[in-house]
Chain A
Amino acid sequence: AQTVTQSQPEMSVQEAETVTLSCTYDTSESDYYLFWYKQPPSRQMILVIRQEAYKQQNATENRFSVNFQKAAKSFSLKISDSQLGDAAMYFCAYRSANDMRFGAGTRLTVKP
């Protein structure tokens, strides 16, 4: 079974600094996507960034970028120039044709 592991239950970052959230996964499938979702205190989950397993190039969306290490099954999220609005729960997710799994989440606090 596919598992998604986020080893950092909580992280803290100073405003304007950079933080990296870790995620590892386990799968025997070759075709899958990886996602990072953000869930602010209002509870509406939104997509932050996604990565196709076949692409070696790391995805980037403005201040958000990933470090995708396929062989190591690692998919970390880097947030640059952190803002107060980045404070939320961040979930790493794995999706294949027949499965969708989420990690336990990392609570990110941004200090002013």
Chain B
Amino acid sequence: KAGVTQTPRYLIKTRGQQVTLSCSPISGHRSVSWYQQTPGQGLQFLFEYFSETQRNKGNFPGRFSGRQFSNSRSEMNVSTLELGDSALYLCASSLGLRDIQETQYFGPGTRLLVL
């Protein structure tokens, strides 16, 4: 099975712009979670989508949004970019059985640099 894929792998944007990141989960996985990883804050949970619905949400401003399509692919959008949004954005997929023991499989991440 192919793993979790994320596109693009690298992105450079300027302040005020918006960006859309994409995540394709492992085939058969219906849950997609997004995380932001920075040297200062570490790994922080953004949100989780299951069956096209947001199931959980972390403590991030409304500039961060996401969606999931019927094929379970997910996109994450950040509007009005700030310098502090520079980070590695990780996507993780799982079956979505709502079982907390479920293993999440991570993608390679998208590295976003905001200038």
Contacts and interface: CB of A to CB of B under 8 A. Distances in A.
Interface of A: 31-33, 37, 42-47, 50, 52, 91, 95-105
B101 A100 contact: no
Contact of A97 (B33, B35, B92, B100): B100
19 contacts: A31-B100, A33-B101, A43-B108, A43-B109, A44-B107, A46-B106, A50-B103, A91-B42, A96-B100, A97-B100, A98-B56, A99-B45, A100-B45, A100-B48, A102-B35, A102-B44, A103-B42, A104-B42, A105-B43
A100 B33 contact: yes
Contacts, number: 45
Q: Residue among B45, B48, B100 with the most chain A CB within 10 A? A: B100
Nearest to B101: A33
A52 B98 CA distance: 15
B23 interface: no
Nearest to B56: A98
